[in-house]
Chains A and B, each alone.
Chain A
Amino acid sequence: MKKIFNFYYDGFTNMKLGKVLWLLIFIKLFVMFAILKTFFFKDFLSEKFNTDKEKSEYILKELTKF
């Protein structure tokens, strides 16, 4: 375990361009999950219904309303 930890630790500490790339990755993931997913991309069915049965009934209603 220690070997694996040191492998990653040394790898990360010796990075040059990699540090910029990791920063970009973290900013991107933060924007995607903490902002977009939380505020703009809520799961439509889970927001409206609590159970799978309710979701099924809603979709069936949607599919057969014509």
Chain B
Amino acid sequence: MDENLLELVNWSRAQFALTAMYHWLFVPLTLGITFIIAIMETIYYKTNDEKWKKITKFWMILFGINFAIGVATGIILEFQFGTNWSNYSWFVGDIFGAPLAIEGIMAFFLESTFIAVMFFGWNKVSKKFHLVSTWLVALGSNLSALWILVANAWMQHPVGMKFNTETARNEMVDFWEILFSPVAISKFLHTITSGYVLASIFVIGVSAWFLLKNREEFLAKKSILIAAIFGLSSSLFLAGTGDIAGHEIAQKQGMKLAAMEGLYKGENGASLVLFGLLDGDKKLKDENNGFVFKIEIPKALSFLANRDFDSFVPGIEDIVYGNKEHGFIPTSEKIIKGKLAIKSLKEYKSSKKNGDKIKEKSSLKIFEENFKYFGYGYLNSPESIIPNVPLVFYSFHIMVALGFYFIVFFILVLFFLKKDILQKNKWILYTSIWTVPLAYIASETGWIVAEVGRQPWVIQDLMTTSMAVSKIDASAVQITFFLFLSIFTALLIAEIKIMTTQIKNY
């Protein structure tokens, strides 16, 4: 890759990562807190106790602030598709466009309409209709996320489409295969439940602050009760969906799993690294196992990957250089097939233009036979399919460690609440506050695993990130990168300031 293209790709990636990560600071709280509010309002509806109405309205205000600041920040990502990633945008065709269009319509009609009822409807619509509206806001925001995640899952595991050689676009042939792809389902469930966990921790953290200040005891304790139960059940579900997502990654994106685990040489009965420090001097094919030290769970990785404790899990070297015994073909062979697919597509177009029917037919046949390796044709070397191993490995382990910490945290909070000794043990209240940023870190590291782990692909096996970019000036991307950095930082500061003021002055 020449230096100019590398600079353009890196800046385009940095810009997309920046906007996606900032956008994701706002989204998970909305996904989870809407359900917590709906549960609280349901209790108000059932008990008719005005205190529950007050609790519901307090959390609704915080939700409103987060929603207002975060709304439409995702649209910037769509701007970038058209400007910075035009090759990709054209290539994915209606597969990406359709879910995003559905998301836009659902977000507008479901969320916007019923959010108005949520905020303006107290005492104007019936209690029942208000409650239904609140639940519809929760369901609507989560259904919006579904379509975005379906589109993302398709990039990780492209199914249900056919490449049109005339238009150079992928066309949807099976909507249901895309929607119900196992990768899409596991990604959706894992992502939304991570939002539920984050929102629960947020509610507990804010409530803990009230208890530390000896204020709003009823609101704080009841909120902690709801959030801790919701958070604990979501955390357990999150661990389950994480296991399913890990299994799907093993089946469809072996390199990502190998990077997540720092596994260089594949093995039968592979262990799962519980904690480890990577060796920076590790080189491919040397005898170094890649770790300075590690603590492992024996055979757990094999079970995660194949549901068999003794099964073989390929390492980075097996995928790059191949492993005949276990049926992994070398990447160099895939590169040859990919280049053949590109060449045959070119020949197909020229023979069609020249009216050479025989050549046209044979080229098309070769292209279709090798299309699944299409993206490999753009790789310069087999080693270029390896993502940034330290970034993926540490992000994955931080996410998992925090995920298990959250389970313990929710159990502890529930225990202290049941014994009514929360205020006597200030450390648990301080821990609750400090766990809030940890929830955001866990959420962001999850996305780093998903997106950095699939590099160099923008669409798994079909299109590399470098092939996806528009041929624009890198300096233009740099300027907008810093523009976004300023705008999003200003929005984040506004969110934190408005929210903390609202909490303090409540």
Interface set of A (CB-CB < 8 Å, partner B) = 7-8, 10-12, 14, 17-18, 20-22, 24-25, 28-29, 31-32, 36-37, 40-46, 52, 55-56, 59-60, 62-64, 66
Interface set of B (CB-CB < 8 Å, partner A) = 61, 64-65, 68-69, 71-72, 75-76, 79-80, 82-84, 86-87, 89-91, 116, 119-121, 124, 166-169, 339, 342-343, 345-346, 349, 377-378, 467, 470-472, 476, 479-480, 483, 487, 491, 494, 498, 502
B498 touches A20 (CB 8 A): yes
B487 touches A43 (CB 8 A): no
A43 touches B83 (CB 8 A): yes
Q: Which of A7, A20, A32, A55 contacts B90 (CB 8 A)?
A: A55
A21–B502 alpha-carbon span in the complex (Å): 12
A46–B378 alpha-carbon span in the complex (Å): 25
| Nearest CB on A from B121, distance (A) | 8
A18 touches B498 (CB 8 A): no
A12–B120 alpha-carbon span in the complex (Å): 8
| Nearest CB on A from B176, distance (A) | 27
B377 touches A40 (CB 8 A): no
| Nearest CB on B from A18, distance (A) | 7
Q: Which chain B positions have C-beta within 8 A of A66?
A: 339, 342, 377-378
Q: Which chain A positions have C-beta within 8 A of B467?
A: 62-63
A42–B76 alpha-carbon span in the complex (Å): 12
Q: A18-B64, A41-B80, A44-B472 are in contact. Are A32 and B72 (CB under 8 A)?
A: yes
A36–B61 alpha-carbon span in the complex (Å): 30
Q: A17-B502, A32-B76, A36-B76 are in contact. Are A64 and B346 (CB under 8 A)?
A: yes
Q: Which chain B positions have C-beta within 8 A of A25?
A: 68, 71-72
Q: Which of A7, A8, A36, A56 contacts B483 (CB 8 A)?
A: A36
Q: Which of B64, B79, B349, B494 contacts A36 (CB 8 A)?
A: B79
Q: Which of B68, B75, B84, B87 contacts A21 (CB 8 A)?
A: B68
| Nearest CB on A from B96, distance (A) | 15
Total number of residue pairs linking A and B with CB closer than 8 Å = 106
A63–B374 alpha-carbon span in the complex (Å): 10
Q: A11-B120, A36-B480 are in contact. Are A63 and B345 (CB under 8 A)?
A: yes
Name the residue of chain B whose CB is nearest to the CB of A4: B116
A66–B467 alpha-carbon span in the complex (Å): 11
A21–B71 alpha-carbon span in the complex (Å): 11
A52–B71 alpha-carbon span in the complex (Å): 32
B68 touches A31 (CB 8 A): no
| Nearest CB on B from A29, distance (A) | 6
Residue among A40, A46, A63 with max Cβ neighbours from chain B (10 Å): A63
Q: Which of B116, B121, B166, B168 contacts A63 (CB 8 A)?
A: B168
Q: Which chain B positions have C-beta within 8 A of A45?
A: 82, 86, 89-90
| Nearest CB on B from A61, distance (A) | 9
Q: Which of B72, B119, B339, B342 contacts A28 (CB 8 A)?
A: B72
A59–B76 alpha-carbon span in the complex (Å): 23
| Nearest CB on B from A40, distance (A) | 5
Q: Which of B87, B119, B483 contacts A18 (CB 8 A)?
A: B119
A24–B499 alpha-carbon span in the complex (Å): 14
Q: Which chain B positions have C-beta within 8 A of A64?
A: 342-343, 345-346, 349
A31 touches B64 (CB 8 A): no
Q: Which chain A positions have C-beta within 8 A of B342?
A: 63-64, 66
Q: Which 8 A-B pairs have the closest CB atoms?
A: A11-B120, A21-B68, A64-B346, A44-B86, A41-B79, A43-B82, A44-B470, A59-B168
Q: Which of B116, B346, B480, B498 contacts A40 (CB 8 A)?
A: B480
A45–B69 alpha-carbon span in the complex (Å): 31
B119 touches A40 (CB 8 A): no
Q: A8-B120, A17-B61, A28-B491 are in contact. Are A62 and B87 (CB under 8 A)?
A: yes
Q: Which chain A positions have C-beta within 8 A of B471?
A: 62
- List, sorted by A's number, 22 A–B pairs whose CB atoms are closer than 8 Å: A7-B124, A18-B64, A21-B65, A24-B68, A25-B68, A25-B71, A28-B491, A36-B76, A36-B483, A41-B80, A42-B82, A43-B82, A44-B470, A45-B82, A56-B167, A56-B168, A59-B87, A59-B91, A60-B168, A60-B349, A62-B87, A62-B471
| Nearest CB on A from B107, distance (A) | 14
Name the residue of chain B whose CB is nearest to the CB of A60: B168
